[in-house]
Amino acid sequence: MKVVYTDKAPAAIGPYSQAIILNDILFTSGQIPVDPATGELAGDTIQIQAEQVMKNLDAVLKEAGTSFENAVKTTCFLADMGDFAQFNEIYAKYFVNKPARSCVAVKTLPKNVLCEVEVIAAIEK
């Protein structure tokens, strides 16, 4: 098992890792729309926040030696299912291979963000 860390994505805000590699499979923790350069939330719209989440995931995926193309499963959390269509527009630009996915609305997300995404991806050899 290997812990993945990059300063190009927000540091964990609790007792967990950004991601773990086990047997050539990457398991990311949920990424929220925090700009790692400032530590501040990125914008107040679902589009801006979803873009920042994808940038954060991209940094973690790259640090682990993989990419969006190798994603096999995602779990997406939305604060408001009314944002589903707008979130999907951003999501589809990054997950072009259409991995398996769950997308649920939750009562509250950390820092009251609008979305959070976690990924399971294969590691390229």
Per-residue pLDDT tens over the stretch 84-117: 999 999 999 999 999 999 999 999 999 999 999 9
**Does the annotation mark 115 as catalytic?**
no
DSSP, res 34 = B
The whole-number pLDDT of residue 125 equals: 72
List the chain domain ranges.
2-122
- Answer whether 102's CB lies under 8 Å from 75's CB: yes
- Answer whether 53's CB lies under 8 Å from 89's CB: no
3-state SS, 76-121, equals: EEECCHHHHHHHHHHHHHHCCCCCEEEEEECCCCHHHCCEEEEEEE
Extract the residue ranges of the chain whose pLDDT is less than 50: none
The whole-number pLDDT of residue 124 equals: 79
Catalytic residue among 20, 25, 103, 109: 103
The whole-number pLDDT of residue 56 equals: 98
Tell me the chain's radius of gyration from C-alpha atoms.
13
The whole-number pLDDT of residue 52 equals: 98
Q: Are strands 71-78 and 115-122 parallel, antiparallel or unpaired?
A: antiparallel
Ordered strands of the 19-22 beta sheet: 2-4, 19-22, 25-28, 115-122, 71-78, 100-105
Q: Which CATH class is domain 2-122?
A: alpha beta
The whole-number pLDDT of residue 13 equals: 83
The whole-number pLDDT of residue 102 equals: 98
